[in-house]
Structures are given as structure tokens and as C-alpha cells.
Amino acid sequence: MPEYRPIPAKRKREYDQFLHYAFRPEDGPKSDEDDDDKPNLGDRRGLFDGDDLLCVCKHHWFTTRIRDEWHEMAGLSAVASPPESRRGGLVRQMLKHSLAEYRENEAYFSALWPFSYEFYRKYGWGTVNKYTKYETTPDALALNTDPTGDFRRLDADEWELLQSAFDAHSEGYALSIDRTEEWWRHRVFEGWKKDPYVYAWVPNREKNARGYVVYTIQEEDDGDGKRLKVWEMAHADDEAYRHLLRFAQYHDSQVETVELSHEPENTTLLDMVDNPRDVNCEIETGPMFRLVDVPRALESISYPGEISENIVLRVADSLAEWNDGTFELDTDDIVLCDRTEDDPDVTLNVNTLSQLVAGYYSVEDAERFGSCSIESDDARVHLNSLFPKRDVFLREGF
């Protein structure tokens, strides 16, 4: 039976080779010259047969906002196996061990960015937000905004100047992350292949940024022109957003295309520009989310004030047996969620329950798009009162 355990630092190169083959095989075998000295965030894990490494993954540990309170959440990434280890159920075993580790560490929620939605859906994760991708020209972003304030290029030592803008922009979204200094330095100011530029807009006579933009400038794939690709943009208000767009427009002598690659799901920019036909707007699916431990997760989150409900949930989970069963959720005074033999009011899989808890699905969405069967109108009303829909935006890449 393969053993799940940490991958020691001395085997980092082997771990990197697994990832290289999984995500960049077109570059050919990884060479010694490809190694870098950037900090490697997260905890490496693998399945071993004796000393032979079979497949790998990485765990990140976040504090995230769920139902207006901060909770511990594990981020799963870098799941990879070489072709000789595939189709034998090894990744499934590794995912199950990972959930058990999260549970042991009292991280009752998990998120990931999937290479395949179908693959992770069968293991209990569900899509948790969509995001908007805009593509336009610099000239389309000429919004007649008064050129007030200053644009300042920042380095990693100045990361704290961005915190207030990030917090203001994130406040309204579930699954926003409480970023650490390490994350700012090594995941915002550093890139996967090359480091980005980071510029802030600072109003007159203020110290902290009201908005900032993280971007790279690169050749177009066809070699015809250049593209300013915004990887992250945060702003405290519409005024700051307009100034950041003005900053992108100032690159009209250098680039032909501006791409805003990861905005919260909306079409706001179409209403701000003079000609919305100059802006290509696409909505894409983002990360996935999962309850690690159903009863503990449901006991830990907050519910709308004055809500006192009792509802029985039948939850299906093929990967984590501790979640598979029938649970009574009682939110009167002390929130309790325990196994029961009572008949269920609601039957659903862990994917759909996770999407309800995050706020991505309303109850109506869960019935239309998920796996959710509700026995009565009263149960539907109760479920609606417990899990109102929220705006969700997990922007972190990991």
C-alpha cells in the first residue's frame, strides 16, 4: 500500500520534474539550468512506494472569509503524476489523504484551481466562482478622468502600502484571503516565469494606495505587437478603478492590446467606456471549493441573525467517508450538527452543499444545476434562510 508523507527538501528537484512534465511537457525534459532560487511556498506531499515517489501535490494554508467570518482553508495545488503512475487510483488516494490531513489540522474547507472540472467534481469539489476577462485597446480606456494623484511603482518591501486597497476591494466577496507578508512578496511581486510590474495609484496627500495593478508586457503569440496583461487589479472605489484604467491607457505607444485577465464576475467596464463594442468581455469559470468535514464545517460557520432552524441533510461523499451520511443541523442557540437516522429533509452531494455554504449557489441554483432534492416547501424555506447567496471571488492563484 503506498504511503502518504511529506516530500523532503532534498527531493525538490524530483518533485519539480513531476510538475514540469504535468504542466509544461511541450518544453521538453527539465534541465539543471531550469532550477531557480525563489522561495517555494506551501507544503509538498507525495505517495511513495518504499523510496519511489509515485505522485505529488502541495498544500497551502489560508485564512479566508466564509459567511462574514474568518476560517482556515487549505489550498490544494500541484497535483501531478508521471504517465507510468496513472490510471491506478493513486491520485484518488492522495486526495483522500490530503483531506484527512486538512481535517486533522482543523481546516474544514478546501479550494483548488482545476486542470479539469470533471476530474475534481467526481471527488467532491464544486465550482465556486466565475470571473471576467476583458480584452481591449488602450484607446478604448480613455475615460476623461481628471489626472489627479500619483502613480508609483512599488517593490516588495512596500507591500503594506497596498493592503488597504486590497482589503477594501475584497471586503464584499466571500472566500477573499487574509494575505500574509510572505504571500504578498512571493505571489504578488513575483511571477511564475517572470516578475510583474506593480504600480499603485495614490491620491494627493495620502500615503497608502487606493488602487493598484499587477501586470506584465509581452509579445503577442503571433509576434504582431505587444500586450499589457493585468494579472491583478484592486481598487477601493470606482474613482480608483478609473485611474487604474487611465494608467493602462497611458501605454498606447507601447502596446496594442490590454487584457484584464481576472476581474470579479461583472460587466462594469462595458458601461464605463464610450464604445462597449471596443471591449471583448468573457465570463470564465474559476476555482473549486469543498467541505472537508461536513458536520464541523456546518458548526463553525455563522448563520443569519435570529435564524433558528432544524434541518436534516443526507450528504453523499464518495471520497471522505466521514462526510457520507445523514446529519441533523440545529442552529438554535448553540449550533450543532450530528449524525442521525431521521428521514432527510434535503438530499444532496458534498459538491452542491459546498457551493451552498460558500454562497455561490442559491437554493434555487442548487436544485437547478446541482444535486439537490428537497422534500417540502418548508424545508426549502429553511434552507434558503440558512444559506443566502453571496458574491464569491477567490482571486489567489496557487
Give residue 188's identity as a one-letter amino acid code: V
- Looking at the structure of the chain, the number of domains it has is 3
Task: Note whether residue 393 is domain-resident.
Answer: no
Planar angle of CA 250, 256, 257, nearest 5 degrees: 90
Note whether 140 and 257 are same-domain residues. Answer: yes
pLDDT in tens, 49-99: 999 999 999 999 999 999 999 999 999 999 999 999 899 999 999 999 999
Is 87 within a domain? yes
Tens digit of pLDDT for each residue in 252-261? 999 999 999 9
Domain match, 161 and 240 both = yes
Q: Is residue 252 part of a domain?
A: yes
pLDDT at 305: 80
The percent of residues above 70 in pLDDT, for the chain, comes to 98
Is there a contact between 363 and 380 (Cβ–Cβ < 8 Å)? yes
Q: What mean pLDDT value characterizes the chain?
A: 95
391 belongs to a structural domain: no
Domain identity same for 34 and 141: no
Tell me if 165 is assigned to some domain: yes
Q: Which of 254, 285, 316 is the last residue of a domain?
A: 285
What is the pLDDT, as a whole number, of residue 32? 64
CA 181 to chain centroid, in Å, comes to 18
Which CATH number covers residue 378?
Answer: 3.30.1050.10
d(CA 198, CA 26): 30
Query: Alpha helices, DSSP H only, in 319-394?
Result: 350-358, 363-369, 377-386
What's residue 34's pLDDT? 60
In a domain, 9, yes or no: yes
* Same domain, residue pair 110 and 165: no
Are 228 and 250 in the same domain?
Answer: yes
Q: Is residue 397 part of a domain?
A: no
Distance of CA 75 to the CA centre of its chain: 8
Do residue 152 and residue 239 come from a single domain?
A: yes
- For the residues 273-281, what does the mean pLDDT come to? 97
Domain match, 114 and 176 both: no
Residue 79 belongs to domain with CATH number: 3.40.630.30
pLDDT of 5 strictly over 80 = yes
> What is the model's pLDDT at position 17?
93
Q: What is the pLDDT of residue 224?
A: 86
In single-letter form, the type of residue at position 265 comes to E
Q: Strand locations in the chain, DSSP E?
A: 3-6, 43-49, 52-66, 69-80, 109-112, 126-127, 130-136, 150-153, 197-202, 211-219, 226-235, 257-264, 280-285, 288-291, 310-316, 325-330, 336-339, 346-349, 372-374
How confident is the model at residue 350, as a pLDDT?
98
Q: What is the mean pLDDT of residues 199-222?
A: 93
Is 80 found in the same domain as 32? Answer: yes
- Residue 368's φ and ψ, nearest 5 degrees, are -75, -45
| Number of Cβ atoms within 10 Å of the Cβ of 49 | 12
190 pLDDT band, cuts 50/70/90, is: very high
pLDDT score at 36:
60
- pLDDT number for residue 207: 85
> Are 274 and 147 part of one and the same domain?
yes
How many CB atoms are located within 10 Å of the residue 100 CB?
15
User: 298-355 pLDDT, tens per residue?
Assistant: 999 999 987 788 999 999 999 999 999 999 999 988 899 999 999 999 999 999 999 9
280-285 vs 130-136, strand pairing mode: antiparallel
User: Is 353 a member of any domain?
Assistant: yes
State whether 116 and 145 are in the same domain.
Answer: no
pTM of the full structure: 0.93
Report whether pLDDT(295) > 70: yes
Residue where a domain stops, chosen among 95, 128, 161: 128
Last residue of a domain, one of 232, 263, 285: 285
What pLDDT is stored for residue 33 in this prediction?
59
Same domain, 298 and 336: yes
135 — pLDDT class (breaks 50, 70, 90):
very high
What grid cell was written down for 340?
442521525
**What's the CA gap between 386 and 380, in Å, rounded?**
10
Please check the confidence at residue 263 and state whether its pLDDT lies above 90.
Answer: yes
Quickly list DSSP for 89-154: SHHHHHHHHHHHHHHHTT--EEEE--S-HHHHHTTT-EE--EEEEEEE-GGGG-------SEEEE-
| Per-residue confidence (pLDDT) for residue 129, from 0 to 100 | 97
Task: Check pLDDT > 70 for residue 9.
Answer: yes
Residues 99 and 114 in one domain: yes
Task: Give the pLDDT confidence score for residue 258 in this predicted structure.
Answer: 98
- For 163, the domain range is 131-285
Cell numbers found for residue 235: 481598487
The predicted structure's pLDDT at residue 37: 60
Query: Can you give the pLDDT at residue 29?
Result: 85
Is pLDDT of 264 > 90? yes
pLDDT over 90 for what percent of the chain? Answer: 88
